Structure 1
Amino acid sequence: MPSGQKFVIADDHPLFRGALKQAIAGLADVGSIIEAGDFESAKAAVAGNEDLDLVLLDLSMPGASGLSGLISLRGIHPTVPVVIVSAYDDAETIRRALELGASGFISKSASMDDIRSAIETVLAGGVAAPSDLDLGVEQDPEISALIKRLQSLTPQQTRVLGMLAEGLLNKQIAYELNVSEATIKAHVSAVLQKLGVDSRTQAVILLGKIGGDALSAA
């Protein structure tokens, strides 16, 4: 029998990680809590733990550019629920996060009870978003089209895209994923085709539009 549920808390502020740990500690059946203070550590924690039950991810931490961090983690471990925890809690950011596969969104201004309640909702298989906010619809047709294209990627293609965004070469990605370079070339070609771009650079620029723009504008 597994000994409790396993969580990853990815946030670069130790005080806020502590608050999230406190919220989780109030849940039933808590096993282990892995903390990550930067995105590299978060990726390692998600990649190294197949049996995760939940990831709490800050949108703006060292090594991650907004929603592109969510996209990368979803590629690494497609089945684990990821809840975004952010001070950028406008309707646009929340809606985009949910459309890109987040299982929930918690504002950093939420109370301890609200944080715990949101976590419980997601652990029970639901989606947690602020109930008092109308998320509306995407107003930017370019972003809307981009989200649909990103949604069409397979988990492995999503992971490859995340690695392209980090500047890794095909042979480095092949080594990381333990597959042949030819396989990675095929994945890259498929990613470029689905995103409607001609080069890796254009793909990374496109990902940046969903990554940091929402935050820099907030």
Structure 2
Amino acid sequence: MREVLIADDHPLFRDALKRAVLQALPDAALLEADGVPMLHVVVDTHPDLELLLLDLHMPGATGFSALVHIRGQHPGLPIIMVSAHEEAGIIRRAIAHGASGYIPKSAPVETIVTAVLRVLDGDLWIPASVHGAGLALKPDEAGAAARVAELTPQQFRVFNMIAEGLLNKQIAYDLGVSEATVKAHMTAIMRKLGVSNRTQVALMASHLAIEVDSVPSEVVLSNH
């Protein structure tokens, strides 16, 4: 049975994606995640996972950070990004970071079905409106992606909490660990990222941000 993971924090859109995937793969076993912690658990415990549909704005991630981290930890897993963003530059950056496809949330079910089947066949799928997927990432962004990919899942969670501006005390509370443990994670994170303080950690995360003026509101598939 083919396992497909749908990672999106909006239940209604997860349901819409599930229906679309089942049209493409009627016998698929569908798994779900509503945030980065659950995303890591599901991916790590399902080695035969064949496809990940990943929301670009997952809770617990900054911009493309979830994409680059999962790609680093599981390089053989095809990932289709799903987002309300339809800007060509964002789509090209997603592909440059290793996504195998990009589906706008405004896409009809038929388009999602096509994208899923194409990616599972080993092809790249992007909207027809985006001419050419080639893009050379800026050196700072490429460097940040390579370093973030080396973090462990727990280090990745701490990394994104730092990017959100949380203090060690808040991070410790949210993770249910001691501040000493958080400091140990901080030391390891800074070593892997090649930086010396939390401000530089946050700067590293900013290189993976979407960098648009506003985040569009989520949209539900028009024919659901």
User: 2:219: which partner in 1?
Assistant: none
| CA apart distance, 1:28 | 3.7
User: 1:68: which partner in 2?
Assistant: 65
Please tell me whether residue 148 in structure 1 is matched to residue 142 in structure 2.
Answer: yes
Please tell me whether residue 58 in structure 1 is matched to residue 55 in structure 2.
Answer: yes
Q: Counterpart of 1:41 in 2: which secondary structure?
A: helix
RMSD of aligned Cα (Å): 3.4
Kept in 1, the 8 Å contact 2:63–2:208? The answer is yes
Determine the C-alpha separation between the residues in 1 that align with 2:213 and 2:151. Answer: 25
Please tell me whether residue 46 in structure 1 is matched to residue 40 in structure 2.
Answer: no
Q: Counterpart of 2:207 in 1: which secondary structure?
A: helix
Determine the C-alpha separation between the residues in 2 that align with 1:41 and 1:158. Answer: 14
Kept in 2, the 8 Å contact 1:10–1:38? The answer is yes
User: 2:191: which partner in 1?
Assistant: 189
Cα pair distance change 1:63/1:205, threshold 3 Å: same
| CA apart distance, 1:117 | 0.5
User: 2:204: which partner in 1?
Assistant: 206
| CA apart distance, 1:146 | 2.1
Find the partner of 1:120 among 117, 122, 136: 117
Determine the C-alpha separation between the residues in 2 that align with 1:123 and 1:130. Answer: 16
Q: AA paired with 2:33?
A: A
Q: AA paired with 1:202?
A: Q
Query: In terms of mean alpha carbon deviation, does 200-209 or 31-40 score higher?
Result: 200-209
| TM-score relative to the length of structure 1 | 0.75
Query: In terms of mean alpha carbon deviation, does 83-92 or 197-206 score higher?
Result: 197-206
| CA apart distance, 1:90 | 0.5
Please tell me whether residue 165 in structure 1 is matched to residue 192 in structure 2.
Answer: no
Determine the C-alpha separation between the residues in 1 that align with 2:112 and 2:145. Answer: 27
Percent sequence identity is 33
| TM-score relative to the length of structure 2 | 0.73
Kept in 2, the 8 Å contact 1:7–1:54? The answer is yes
Cα pair distance change 1:136/1:202, threshold 3 Å: same
Q: When you count helix as a share of all residues, which structure comes out higher? A: 1
Cα pair distance change 1:158/1:83, threshold 3 Å: farther
| CA apart distance, 1:167 | 4.8
| CA apart distance, 1:122 | 0.8
| CA apart distance, 1:44 | 1.7
